[in-house]
Every structure is written in structure tokens, then in C-alpha cells.
Amino acid sequence: MLRIFKKYNLKKQNAFKLDVIAEYFVSVTQKKDLKKLAKRIDLKTNKHFILGSGFNTLFTGNFNGLIIHPNIGGIVKLKENKSHVWFKVGAGVDWTNFVKFAVSKNLSGIENLNLIPGSVGAAPVQNIAAYGQNFEDVFVSLTSYDIIENKFVKFNKSKCKFAYRDSFFKRESNGRYVIIDVTIKLSKIANIDTSYHSRYGGIVDELNKFTKPPYNVSVIAKAVGRIRRRKFPNWNKFGTAGSFFLNPFVSKEKLSEIQKIAPGVQFYPIEKTTYPPTDDHYLKHSSYVKIAAGWLLEEIGWRGKRIGNVSTSPNQALVVISHGKTSPNEILSFTKRMQDDFEKAYGIKLEPEVNII
């Protein structure tokens, strides 16, 4: 039976573990639940929000509407050829469990995305990426439920409009499509990517500590896991959304200016990054780069800084952490100070990666 909870505490389902209450909450475990839900509540007119595991969501207060939690499970093999295997994965499957599953079968494509907290359903919304791999590269299609038209709708890759930590769902759809399952294509041939490195060490440095080439997907996932456990606070214990802000894109002239203040700042060519297929003039030019916001925040004293119950990580200045009982306002005023200081120092406005609701 489809149960709609009233006055539901979201503490366990929001990145900063805030005590926020949803007026209504429903967990959807089967496709047909959505049709049933639409019969009971007019989803077109009632305020709602689709919530996965909440690891990239910051509620600014109680939510006066319905939270729809897609919790559909299952990993089904659809087909296989000489080089690839296709899986249909339920939106409610834990992303890291799916990575473990792939690695256990020696399938490649998501090993560098190990230990990104959250659900499979959120992966296309956020277009998750880490250590040189991007979700969009393994994505084939998804099934969603359109709450306006009351029908199931398929999305292929081009309809998703993937971009850097961005997609059609994040930017345009405004909660219209509830993602139910995602089809992912993994490679039988390992495409090992060890190119990622940062101020905090790279994949090769980590691999050297416990293994030797040739590498397989399992050791890559292990190395990534070890780096991430060091870099991030334990997200089951502390409130955090990982990187709070996006890494900004800047022109090469702007980069030269910044390098005068922060020599050695890490930057990445945007040809290696996926960026929005928009009319945005600057993104069309390869003379732009993506710069490491965490590095620049560290340069201006934001690494490990604490104000009241909120701090940045002692290991990465872009990672905001809540300690104990924290209010949404405390987090918002802390991150506003980060933004203001950054803009003052570099003339660039940081944009949140986190969904602020």
C-alpha cells in the first residue's frame, strides 16, 4: 500500500543532517505507485520535491509540500555483446552499491566514481563525475514519470542535455520528471584512467602504496575509495554535501590574473570537461579553463575554517561540514561569507553545486 506520511522528519535524508520537516512524504517502490499517487494527489498543482538520498540537497527550512522519494530497486542485465553489457538500474539503488556490483564483475566505466554518496536516480540529474570519469559516458537512457501528463517518458542522452554537474533535469524540468530507472552501458574492456591528480595526491600515488601495474578496475576503485575517505569527512556521521560550490570557468586572461595571486592554482582545459550545450558565449571557446575553487579558497584562508557549528574540511576548503545541531541559516550565512570572500579576492562569483530548496 502506498503510504503518505505527514510531518515527516528529513534529518536522515538531507546532506547537512538538518532537523527539517516535510509536510508530506511518500516513498515510491514500484513504477505503478506513481500512477496511484497521481490519483490521490494532484501533483500538477501541489508543491512537491523529488528527493533521492539527499546528499546534494540543502533545505532552507521545513518543506511545505510533498516529498517524493523514488526508491525503486533492482539491477537487471538487458543485453551483452563482445565488448559491453547493458544494465537497467532502479533509481533507488545506492550508487556505490552499483559501482561495487560493476567492479565485482570486472566491468569498466564507473570505477573512478566509487564512493560518491547518493542514489542511481540522482546520477543523471547531477551528471556525477570524479577522478576523470563522467556519468554521462556510461549513460544510455532513462525512464521517468511525467507528473504533468501522467505518463512514463523515456529520455535518451541528447534529451538529458548533460553538462558539468548539470542536466536538463537540474536546469529546466523543475521536478516534472520522476526518474524511475536508468540504463547504463559498461565496458568489458577496462579503460583504466589514472590521470587524475591534485594538490592532495593523485590516483597513481595512491596505487603505488599498495599495488603495481597492470591495474584493473578493482584496484582503481580501491585507490579512489582510499583518497575519498581521506579527503571527505565521514558522511554518515557529519553533515556534508561534498563540494559545496562548482569549479568556475574562466578565460585564459583571467587565469593569468589569478595566477599572480595564487601561483600554481590547478586548472583543467574545458575540452576535457563537459560543458553546457548552450548559447553561453564563453563556453563555446576553448580558450576557457575550469579552475579549482577549493585551491583558491585555501589560498584565502578557508581551509579548515570554523564559525559556530559550521566549518570547511581541514582537507579540502570546498567541502562544508555541519557539526552537531546546525540550522539552515548557519550554513547559508557561512557559505555566503565564502562566496563574498572569493568574489572580493578573485572577482568571481561562486555558484553552489548543492540544490538549495
Answer yes or no whether residue 147 interacts with ligand FAD by CB under 6 A.
no
CB atoms within 10 A of CB 257: 12
Q: Ramachandran region of residue 132, left (φ > 0), alpha (ψ -120 to 50) or beta?
A: left
Answer yes or no whether residue 52 interacts with ligand FAD by CB under 6 A.
yes
Residues in the chain: 357
Strand order in the sheet with 239-243: 239-243, 319-322, 310-312, 306-307
d(CA 302, CA 352): 16
Q: How far is CA 134 from CA 62, 131, 176, 318, 324, in A?
A: 33, 9, 24, 20, 33
x/- string (CB under 6 A) for ligand FAD, residues 158-197? -------x---xx-------xx------------------
| Active-site residue identified among 27, 108, 119, 243 | 243
Q: Which of 8, 24, 37, 54 binds ligand FAD (CB under 6 A)?
A: 54
Cell numbers standing for residue 51: 528527493
| Active-site residue identified among 165, 167, 322, 327 | 165
Query: Which C-beta is closer to ligand FAD: that of 233 or that of 258?
Result: 233
For residue 27, the minimal CB distance to ligand FAD (Å) is: 12
Q: Collapsing DSSP states into helix, strand and coil, what is residue 124? A: helix
Cell numbers standing for residue 287: 580558450
Answer yes or no whether residue 245 interacts with ligand FAD by CB under 6 A.
no
Could you tell me how many helices (H) and strands (E) the chain has, helices first? Answer: 10, 20
Query: Contact at 8 Å (CB) between 68 and 48?
Result: yes
Q: Which of 18, 37, 57, 291 binds ligand FAD (CB under 6 A)?
A: 57
For residue 33, the minimal CB distance to ligand FAD (Å) is: 13
Q: Which of 20, 43, 50, 318 binds ligand FAD (CB under 6 A)?
A: 50
x/- string (CB under 6 A) for ligand FAD, residues 78-117? -------------x------------------------xx
Answer yes or no whether residue 51 interacts with ligand FAD by CB under 6 A.
yes
Nearest to 20 by CA among 28, 9, 12: 9
**Amino acid identity, position 129:** A
Question: How remote is the C-alpha of 250 from its chain's centroid?
Answer: 22
For residue 301, the minimal CB distance to ligand FAD (Å) is: 22
Answer yes or no whether residue 70 interacts with ligand FAD by CB under 6 A.
yes
Is 243 considered catalytic here? yes
Positions in the binding site for ligand FAD (CB under 6 A): 15, 50-57, 70, 91, 116-119, 121-123, 125-126, 128-130, 165, 169-170, 178-179, 232, 235, 240-242, 355
- Which residues are identified as catalytic? 165, 243, 353
